[in-house]
Amino acid sequence: MTEEKLVKILSELKSIKPKSDYSKKSRVLLLSLANPEAAPRLATFRSVFDFLRVSAVTAFGIILLLTIFSGVSYVNKNFSPILLPGLDQKSVITEADEINNSIDVTLKEITYLDNSTAATNNQIDQVANNKKTLVTETVPTPTSTNSQYDQKINDLLEKASQ
């Protein structure tokens, strides 16, 4: 290399200048190292940007969770009775009412059969003891209410005992 080429290269390098962003950041960095309290706060833009980014991710996550929960609720409300009939509250209450009504009917039948058995046994005892009794009424049907046929049975028993 000749001296002329070297001077030419050095003059070209002398004309190179850094970009304005780089020079500002470098100046702030150097000043903050010398006196940290006197350095201007350029980091606030970065912290605001980071805060907005974290907030956006959090909001997206919350919206996603709400969407999932509302979807699960919708599916449970509309498709659960079809897929899992035991989870449908209305059908469970209806079924429980039907069972309760059938139990009531069964209890009424048991009461009727018990009362009619007692009346029949009483009549058999009277016939066995050769007592002459005239029964003019029959045992009431299970369609009548409990108090009505209980009263009729009591009346029959009293007539039979006289």
> Given this model, what pLDDT does residue 138 score?
55
> Given this model, what pLDDT does residue 59 score?
96
> Given this model, what pLDDT does residue 57 score?
95
* Average pLDDT for runs of 10 along the chain of length 162: 85 84 84 62 72 94 94 76 64 82 76 83 78 53 62 78 66
Give the span between the Cα atoms of 153 and 162, in whole angstroms: 14
Per-residue DSSP letter, 143:
T
pTM: 0.29
Question: What is the phi-psi region of residue 151: left when phi exceeds 0, alpha when psi lies from -120 to 50, beta otherwise?
Answer: alpha
> Given this model, what pLDDT does residue 150 score?
76
Q: Are 131 and 93 in contact (CB under 8 A)?
A: no
> Given this model, what pLDDT does residue 126 score?
79
Find how far residue 6's CA is from the centre of its chain.
Answer: 83
